[in-house]
Amino acid sequence: MMLVLLENLCQCAEGRAELLKHAAGLAVVSKKILRVSTLANDRAVRILLSVSKFSATPNVVQEML
């Protein structure tokens, strides 16, 4: 359910900004990939895609690496 909520929040700029403001925002989403379910994998990848597509900054790219 958390990933569904985060995916909805990442549809707007303010939601992506809030996710990036959280110290462990991207880390928590990334950690769910391949650990929960196939549906959770899809949601987490969509969240990361949205962040990288619309909010890519050098800091975000570094954290994703």
Instruction: Kindly report, residue by residue over 11-24, the tens digit of the pLDDT.
Output: 998 988 888 888 88
Q: Locate 48 and state its tokens.
A: 């990361």
Q: Which domain covers residue 34, as residue numbers?
A: 1-64
Separation CA 1–CA 13 (nearest Å): 21
Number of domains making up the chain: 1
45 band by pLDDT with thresholds 50, 70 and 90: very high
Mean pLDDT of 24-43: 87
pLDDT of residue 59: 83
Q: For the chain, what percent of residues have pLDDT higher than 90?
A: 9
Alpha helices (H) in 1-65, listed in sequence order: 2-9, 13-21, 25-32, 38-54, 58-64
Q: Is the pTM of this model over 0.85?
A: no
